[in-house]
Amino acid sequence: MGRLEGKVTVVTGAASGIGLACATRFAEEGAAVVGCDITESSGWEPVAAAAKGNQFHVVDVRDEDALKAMAAAAVAEFGRIDAIVTAAGTAGGGPVHLISLEEWQRVQDINLTGTFLSAKAVLPTMMEQGSGSIITIASVEGLEGGEGASTYNASKGGVVILTKNLALDYGRIGIRANAICPGFIETPMFDSVLNLDAMAERREQIRYQHKLGRFGKPEEIAGAAFFLASDDSSFVTGVALPVDGGFTAGHAVGIAEMMGLGPR
């Protein structure tokens, strides 16, 4: 029996990357999974096959009515919602003086407002139950700055503080809220930015700042999400959890290698 047996989980951004990895892990652990994304994906098929009734909805997380309808469908099918992972997101960058208002708003609307609306859609059910786990996907760049990514970083910093407010406001009725702050994870979004030829040198510099010497895998973020959805984290709320291979531990400049602590 899986450790999420009997739990009902919602995952946004479930067609690929971190969202798909979370949906897959939850299904493997026995949860009923309701996923959504702006497009369908063949990658969802193993999740659908894992349990009768697992649902996938084509939803834009900027659409409040569509998110409410998805939550209602989950409750109609399964009777409750125990956890949500807000993995839908988009990249965006540039220095402030070069960013159009339209581009700024697009990134905020998907990453921050989309997280707000996703949580809002499931909160009435969780409040009625007196239980639930809201798991937002922020970023290490929501904890500290990063060159050339002001739009993205601002949105993810907003997700971190929004999550802490959710923990403050709803904890006393049994709802937990925590943010996962991934390092650089090998996803389609990662590929669209860091696998460009012009980014080859920068990609290596960013990899080096992950103290484990590599980029992360979506499944490693799914492991953290599983913990936060499970009863093992029953006393964890209001946390911004870096899952980042040591990216935020401090700056690396090569001294460890000088002391014989490089790759073996």
Q: Give the model's pLDDT for residue 50.
A: 79
Q: Give the model's pLDDT for residue 26.
A: 96
Measured between alpha carbons, how far is 35 from 47 in angstroms, rounded to an integer? Answer: 9
Given a cut of 90, whether residue 145 has pLDDT beyond it is no
Q: Give the model's pLDDT for residue 254.
A: 81
Q: Give the model's pLDDT for residue 219.
A: 97
- C-alpha atoms less than 13 angstroms from C-alpha of 13 in its C-beta half-sphere: 26
Known catalytic membership, residue 152:
yes
Q: Contacts by 159-163 with C-beta closer than 8 Å and gap 24+?
A: 159/86, 159/111, 159/112, 159/115, 160/240, 162/112, 162/115, 162/116, 162/119, 162/136, 163/134, 163/136, 163/138, 163/238, 163/240
Please, which pLDDT band fits residue 197 given cuts at 50, 70 and 90? Answer: confident
How far is CA 88 from its chain centroid? 7
Q: Rounded mean pLDDT of 21-44?
A: 92
What is the number of domains present in the chain? 1
Q: Give the model's pLDDT for residue 189.
A: 77
Given a cut of 90, whether residue 17 has pLDDT beyond it is yes
User: In sequence order, which residues have a C-beta less than 8 Å from that of residue 18 and are 6 or more positions away?
Assistant: 87, 137, 182, 185, 187, 218, 221, 222
Given a cut of 80, whether residue 181 has pLDDT beyond it is yes
Asked if residue 56 belongs to a domain, the reply is yes
pLDDT tens column, 202-256: 888 888 999 999 999 999 999 999 999 999 999 999 999 999 999 999 988 888 8
pLDDT tens column, 45-104: 888 887 767 999 999 999 999 999 999 999 999 999 999 999 999 998 889 999 999 999
- Beta bridge partners, 179, equal 136, 240
Asked if residue 206 belongs to a domain, the reply is no
Higher confidence at residue 163 or residue 195?
Answer: 163
Given a cut of 80, whether residue 192 has pLDDT beyond it is no
Which of 173-177, 199-203, 230-234 has the lowest average pLDDT? 199-203
Asked if residue 198 belongs to a domain, the reply is no
Q: Give the model's pLDDT for residue 1.
A: 66
Average pLDDT, rounded, for the chain: 93
Measured between alpha carbons, how far is 29 from 71 in angstroms, rounded to an integer? Answer: 21
The rounded radius of gyration (Å) of the Cα atoms in the chain is: 18
Structural domain of 32? 8-186+217-243
Tell me which H or E stretch contains 96.
none
What is the SS3 assignment for 242? strand
Q: Give the model's pLDDT for residue 73.
A: 96
Nearest alpha-carbon partner for 244 in 143, 153, 152, 172: 143
Asked if residue 156 belongs to a domain, the reply is yes
- Beta bridge partners, 180, equal 137, 241
Q: Which residue has the tokens 């992950």?
A: 210
Asked if residue 204 belongs to a domain, the reply is no
Q: Which of 56, 152, 226, 247 is catalytic?
A: 152
Asked if residue 258 belongs to a domain, the reply is no
Tokens of 79: 């009777």
Given a cut of 70, whether residue 123 has pLDDT beyond it is yes
Asked if residue 111 belongs to a domain, the reply is yes
Please, which pLDDT band fits residue 262 given cuts at 50, 70 and 90? Answer: confident
Q: Give the model's pLDDT for residue 168.
A: 98
- Beta bridge partners, 182, equal 243
Measured between alpha carbons, how far is 112 from 96 in angstroms, rounded to an integer? Answer: 18
Asked if residue 209 belongs to a domain, the reply is no
CATH number of the domain at 44, please: 3.40.50.720
